Structure 1
C-alpha cells in the first residue's frame, strides 16, 4: 500500500499549518556548471565565507588524479560565477574501515566553532559503501564515521574506531543552519540505516525512515555525547536518548516510485528516503529536506528539525534516457540533491539545488557529473487576487505545472505555437498526467484551450477525462459542469482534433490543471499549447509568440 507516515507529534502538527506554496518550480537541468569532476558534494558554509564541499569518485576541482573522496573549497555565487580548489583527498581525508569490497563516500558536512577559537572546524561524515565491481555495488553502507579538519579542509583527523556500524545510522547528513552552523551550540545530524538510497540488490532493506541526532558542537567526534530522538512529549517536542537502539524516525515515507521496469533498466520500485540534505530557510521559516528516488526529486518541509515533516513538492523527470545540461534538449534529474544555505535568497523563495547524474553522464550535450546547480523557486505568493486579461498562461509570472516532460521543454505549453509539442515522457511512469499552470496570486478565468500534440498510435491521449481542476486555498478540486467542444474521445482519435475548448462558470484560483490517465501502449499524453482565458477575453485575440498578457 502506498502511503506516507509522518512522525512528529500531533500537538505540533495541529498548531503549525503546512507551508503553502503557490509556485513550486525546479529547473529541468543544471544551468550552472563548474570546472570540477565528481558526485555527492555535501557542503558547509564556513566563517571565512567559502563553501567547502566533498566529492566522491572524481578529481574534484582539478583535472587529474582521481580519488574516491576529494575535499574542495568553492568561492563565488551562481549568478556571478563559481571557482574551486582541491584541498585534500583519499587516505589523507578518511580511512576505509572495510577495505577490499568498500570505498569511501562523503554524506554530510558542517562548519562550526566548537572549541571557541574564533575559527570554524570542518566535520565531514564519511561512510563505507560497497564498491561497484562487487556483487550489489552501491547497495549497502555498513559503517560510518566523522572526520575533522582544523585548517579549513587541508588536513584531517578521525577516531580510532568507526562511530557507527552494523548498517545503523550510516548515511549521515548534517543539518545546514547557515554560515558557521548558524551559531548554534548543537550540531544536528540526520541518519539513514542500511544504504544511501534504494538497495537494488536487496542486500539491506530499502530506506524508508529518517532519524535525527544532536551532539554538542564541542564534541562532535565523541560518539558517547550523541543523542537521538527517542520519543515525543505531549506538546510535540522530542525526548532525546544516548541509546541509539531507542531511536525513532522523525519521517517515514513508504511510497514506491516507478514500480515497473522500463527500457531495459531492471531497477524499479524506488523509495525516496535517501542521501540529500536538510537546510534551514530563514526567509520561509522552514527546514527543507531535499531527497530523491531514481527519477524524481522530493522535497519536505517542517517548522522544527524534528518535524512535523510534510511533503512539499515532487518533481518527476521521467525515466532514462535523459539529456546532458548543454544539450538543446537538456533534461535530467540526479542523486544526493543538496541546497546550500549560502545560495538561498533573503526572502527564501529562490534557492539553488546541487545534484549529479552519472549514467550516461557524457550523453549529448556534456556531463552532469560535477558540482552543478539549478534554480528552485518556492514561492508562497499572496492571497490578493491579481486582475489580468487575455490568455493568463502568457502572464510573466505564470509557471508551467506538469507531471513530467520528455524533452524538458515546459515552455511549449505557452509559447504561442502549435507546431512544437511535448509529451509526458512515454513509458511506465507513476500517477496521472498533468498539464497546467500556477501563479503566485489568484486569477479569474472561465475557459481552457488544450491543443494536443501530433497523432501517434502508441500514445499521446488521455484514457479518461481529462478533468479540469483548480487550486483554491491550497486545495485541488474539480470544476463542475464543464463543457468540452468538440467532445473528447478517450482513444487515439482524440489527437485528430486541433484543439479542445473547456468552458465553465468563472472561477478564481492560483492554479489550474488538466489531469487524467495516460492512454496508449506507452501510456503518455501530448500537448502543443495550453491556454487559460480570463472572462470576456476572446481566443481570437491570442497574443503572438513575443507578446505576453499583463500580470
Structure 2
C-alpha cells in the first residue's frame, strides 16, 4: 500500500481526482497481459432480483440468493416479492441457466435489528460440509440494509449474521446467536472466499503458509467491509475504503466467538486475532470516481469509492485470487497471489453515465452493481470468467434491464513467457489479430470494433461526462508482439472536441507498466486543434519494440472534453529486425 499523490499520467485512470490529491491506493497489477470485459450482459435468465452471491455445492448445482425480487416464478403465478429469495441455478453460460426458487424472506433470515427500518439482503454464500455428515451445508451471510423511502435508503448496513441450510436451500436455521446479529457496525457486508465446488481448492493455502502453522484448509474464509455495502450516498455512514479478511473453523461458521481476523501479514504468512478492532485491512483504496469537473450538458457525476459488495474467488488456472468490485459507472477488478495480499488493481472499466442500453438492444451497453464471479463458470485454464451484475436505473421497457441473474464474459490472460519469440510479420497490422484486445480509458458507445474495421466513416470517442485530463487508445495481446509504428486516423470533423490538446505520446507496456516511447516521431505534425479532426491520418514511428501492449495517450482538447478515433493500427516492422537493433522492453 502506498501513500501517494494521484499522478497526472496520460491514459491512466486516476478516478477523476485532481492531480496532487492525497490518497491510499494499491499498486497497479502487471499480472495480466489481457484484462477485458464485455460491454453488456450476454447471458440472461427468466429471474427477478439483484445481488446473487453464489456457492457451488457438492450436488453440482449453483446456489444463490437475490434481493428485492421474486427470484423466479415457480409456475404457479403466486410467487411473491421478497427482500431475500434463495434459488438453485442449473446450467452454464454456453447452454443457458435455469433457476428455481427455494425459500424467501423470514423463512430464510430474520431482520437482525429493526424490521421497521431495515430489511434483509444477501452478501455472501459458501457450500461446505461443516458438520461432517458427508454432504454440504449452505451458509448465507445476510445484512440488514436501510429500507423505506427516506434519503438513507440503501445507505446504511448496521448489522449482519449467517444462516444455514442442511437441505440445499429449502429450510434455514439460525446459529448460536439466535436472531441476534453476529456483526454490528463493522464487517457488516460479509463475502465468503469462493474456493470452488465444496471449497475443494482451499488446500492451496497449505503452500502459502509455513508447514508448522495450523492447517489452513480447516477454515472457511470471508471478507468484510464496514458500515455499508457500497458508497453511502446520503453520508449516513462512512464510505467503505477497506477490505478485511477473516477465517473461522469449518464446523463453527455461525459461532461469532470462533471468528479470527487478519491483523497483518509478513513473509511467514498472516497473523490472526479474535478482536475485530485489531483487524488490519488487506486492501485499502481511498480513490474516488466522479470527482472531476462535469462537462457542459452532462449528467451530474456520482462520486463514490471503489470498495463495494462483490465477490472474491480463487482462480486455480491462473493461481490468482480475484476481487470484483464496482462503482456506479465502473467495474473494478483486483488480484492477489494470496488471500491476504498484496492486492493490486487490475482493471477499471468505465461504462459512462446513465442512460445505458439494456441487453435487448441490438447494441447493448451497461454496467451494473454487486459484481460476482461464480467459480463454477471459470474455464479450466482460468482465462475465461463470467461476471454477474445487476442494473435497472433508467432502463427502458424496450431495451430491458439487468435486474435478474445475468452474466458477461471476462477475459484474463497472464503475461506471456518472455522466452517465447515475439510475433509480427513484415508490415502486419497487429490490431487485426484475433487475440488483439482494444484498451481505452473510456468510450461513449462501447463500439471499439470501429477502431480496426477498415472504415473511416465511423468513429468512437472518449466522452464520459467528465473533463478528461488523460485519454488512451490502444491494444493488448496475450503474446509478445514486435512493432515500430502506430497509425491514428481521427474522427469526423469536429469544432468542439475530438482532438488531443497536446501531441499524443506512444506508450508500450513493460514489466514496470505503461512507459512512454521517447523516440516516437509523428508525421505529419499533430496540430493539437480542430484541424486534427476530419478523418486525418497521423503515423507515429519509433525504433522496434517487443511488448504486450501499445497505446497513444494525451489530454483531450476542446470544450467537449473528448478525443475521437476512426482507425488505430499497430504495425510490425517492414523487415524483421536483428537482435542488435530490436529494442526489447519486455
Same fold (TM over 0.5): yes
- Corresponding position of 1:386: 423
CA contact (8 A) 1:261 1:268 kept: no
Separation in structure 2 between the aligned mates of residue 147 and residue 31 of structure 1, nearest angstrom: 32
> How much has 1:498 moved relative to structure 2?
2.0
- Measured in 2, the distance between the counterparts of 1:230 and 1:305 equals 13
| Secondary structure, counterpart of 1:444 in structure 2 | strand
Measured in 2, the distance between the counterparts of 1:70 and 1:299 equals 27
Task: Tell me the residue number matched to 1:228.
Answer: 261
Moved over 6 A (4+): none
Asked whether the 8 Å contact 2:138–2:166 carries over to 1, the reply is yes
Kindly indicate whether the alpha-carbon contact (under 8 Å) linking 1:94 and 1:104 is maintained by their aligned counterparts in 2.
Answer: yes
Corresponding residue number in structure 1 for 2:110: 95
- Which of 102, 127, 133 aligns to 1:111? It is 127
Q: Is the 1:361–1:369 contact (alpha carbons within 8 Å) kept by the matching residues of 2? A: no
Q: Secondary structure at the match of 1:181?
A: helix
- TM-score (norm: length of structure 2): 0.86
Give secondary structure in 2 for the equivalent of 1:224: helix
Structure 2: how far apart are the matches of 1:158 and 1:360?
A: 38
1: distance between equivalents of 2:397 and 2:504? 35
Seen in structure 2, the aligned counterparts of structure 1 residues 210 and 440 have a Cα distance that, compared at 3 Å, is same
Q: Distance in 1 between the 2:392 and 2:104 partners?
A: 20
Deviation at 1:363, TM superposition (A): 5.8
Alpha-carbon offset, residue 118 of structure 1: 1.0
From the superposition, tell whether residues 475 and 368 of structure 1 become closer, same or farther in structure 2 (CA, over 3 Å): same
Taking a change above 3 Å as real, the CA distance of residues 56 and 47 of structure 1, as seen in their structure-2 partners, is same
Paired residues of 1:324 and 1:363 also in contact (CA < 8 A): no
C-alpha contact (below 8 Å) 2:143/2:159 kept by paired residues: yes
**Contact in 2 for aligned 1:230/1:238 (Cα 8 Å):** yes
Taking the TM superposition and a 5 Å limit, the aligned residue runs for 1:123-522 are: 123-159=139-175, 160-182=178-200, 184-232=217-265, 234-260=266-292, 266=300, 268-362=302-396, 364-382=398-416, 383=418, 384=420, 385-389=422-426, 390-428=428-466, 432-473=470-511, 475-496=513-534, 498-522=536-560
User: How many angstroms apart in 1 are the aligned matches of 2:142 and 2:164?
Assistant: 11
Give the deviation of 1:304 after TM superposition: 1.4
Aligned-partner Cα distance in 1 for 2:293–2:142 = 32
Aligned equivalents of 1:91 and 1:380: distance in 2? 45
Say whether the 8 Å CA contact 2:526–2:532 is kept in structure 1.
yes
1:524, CA displacement in angstroms?
A: 1.0
* Deviation, structure 1 residue 342: 0.4
TM-score by length of 1: 0.92
Instruction: Show CA shifts across 1:294-353 (max 9, x none).
Output: 111111111111111111222121222211122123111111101111001111111011
Equivalent of 1:42 in 44, 53, 75: 53
In 2, the alpha carbon distance for the partners of 1:227 and 1:133 equals: 37
> What is the SS of the residue equivalent to 1:140?
coil
Q: Which position in structure 1 is the counterpart of 2:562?
A: 524
Q: Is the 8 A contact 1:471 1:477 kept in 2?
A: yes
Take 2:66 and 2:463, find their aligned partners in 1: how far apart are those partners?
31
Task: Specify the alignment match of 2:208 in structure 1.
Answer: none
| SS at 1:219 equivalent | coil
- 2:62 corresponds to 1:51: yes
